[in-house]
Structure 1
């Protein structure tokens, strides 16, 4: 049996989407009654107390999972160099999610080329702290090379499928059995909504695969509406025969 974790980058419920989230409770509680996953992007910009993560975990059903974005202090400021103490701090905070932590997302700046030693060190440190999926959204062309693919596979890191693609648009080369899809909005990143034909193509691709599908086109409220559309489409998507 395969499972797609479907959700948005954040759990804000727009006025347009509100009729689909009836009932009492916080935005997170109402959101988690419909979707089975969410991506926490705020951790990229600022730390959260362990008590905050624990409260979020207590607000959602047992089967719900969070993906937490690694802080920019590690990926953008330190550029994966000498980040041990920062990783330790992040782990002490995010681990309060307990078994509801489903993924740690590493998003790298477009200017950061492949440094295998630095990346391997960070991946090893993260694996020492977390027993969950690790996903990497790299945006420099060097991260789509055979060398980068080998590095990600060696450390069991899932290469993110992003739209619009960055770094090296072209055929996606998987690095783990699971998929992690991030849909940022196209043509206007973070704003544009996706049409039904595109969403159906994604739903068909995900059918028969374990993975995550996160809508990050949140700036104008398109993400939550697209995620609701995707949920309906997944219910009718044909399951392809996958060849390895």
Structure 2
């Protein structure tokens, strides 16, 4: 069993991107560093490793990444698509072992695992419960699941996620409406914003970022991890920095334009 890193429940939100590429327009937001990851970590304290979804990395690679960032920095590592999309959560014990043997090279900087399910994978209580039990025997740290079939947005699925301590990702754009709101275990709120209206490409405007800042401020007792995945056109770093500025400015700013006008 691998124990994941934890964070106090009232800690400030962690904000970052899916990957640590820095758009040329945003270079001035970051300090100097020996690598792109080290420069990224001068501004943000969270990054989501999406490349692990597509291909395996050696443990030495994860160890090198961990050594590139400060002690307070955290990684979220995405489970391989072989587990979620090919095996569809069934018979995954050996695959999980292989993935975790490598990914735990991040040490205590590995703060969360992300499970992104295929849109075609409907909720099946037996296979989902078996998978989560198998995973939880191997990993006790943060765990988030992005569900994309509407059958997961039901009381039985919600109860199962809560029982295993799994945060249901609050995704934008939402596929089914209620998946825009966080669910599952309440101690971790995991936001994944993919870009809207054009997924992965569009930047978020000020109104959208105000709304997200207000939603985060409305749940002060939870740990918030916010990941911008609108990386294709390079908008993730700018949006993440803009949200960071809003939250650091205080409650009035996080509450949105109306609150700022009253100030």
Alignment of 1:114-193 (within 5 A): 114-166=123-175, 168-170=176-178, 172=181, 174-176=183-185, 177-193=187-203
Alignment of 1:12 onto 2:25: no
List gaps (5 residues or longer) in structure 2. 1-9, 255-263
User: TM-score, normalized by length of structure 1?
Assistant: 0.94
Once the two structures are superposed, the pairs formed by residues 201-216 of structure 1 within 5 Å of their partners are: 201-207=211-217, 208=220, 209-216=222-229
Q: Deviations over 1:201-224 (max 9, x none)?
A: 111211224210000000000001
The one of 200, 205, 226 equivalent to 1:195 is: 205
CA contact (8 A) 1:5 1:213 kept: yes
| Stretches of 4+ aligned residues off by more than 2 angstroms | 170-174
| CA distance in 2 between partners of 1:82 and 1:190 (Å) | 31
CA RMSD of aligned residues (A): 1.4
CA positional deviation for 1:198: 0.8
| CA shift digits 1:71-120 (9 cap, x unpaired) | 00000000111111111101111111111001000000000001122212
3-state SS in 2 of match to 1:179: strand
User: Which residue of 244, 248, 251 corresponds with 1:235?
Assistant: 248
* Structure 2 residue 60 is matched with structure 1 residue 51: yes
Does the aligned pair in 2 maintain the 1:191–1:217 contact within 8 Å? Answer: yes
Q: Paired residue for 2:260? A: none
Aligned to 1:223: 236
Shift of 1:154: 0.8
Q: Which moved more, 1:126-135 or 1:5-14?
A: 126-135
Alignment of 1:31-46 (within 5 A): 31-46=40-55
- Count, aligned residues: 239
**Per-residue Cα deviation, 1:177-236 (whole angstroms, up to 9, x for no partner):** 220000000000000000011101111211224210000000000001101111111112
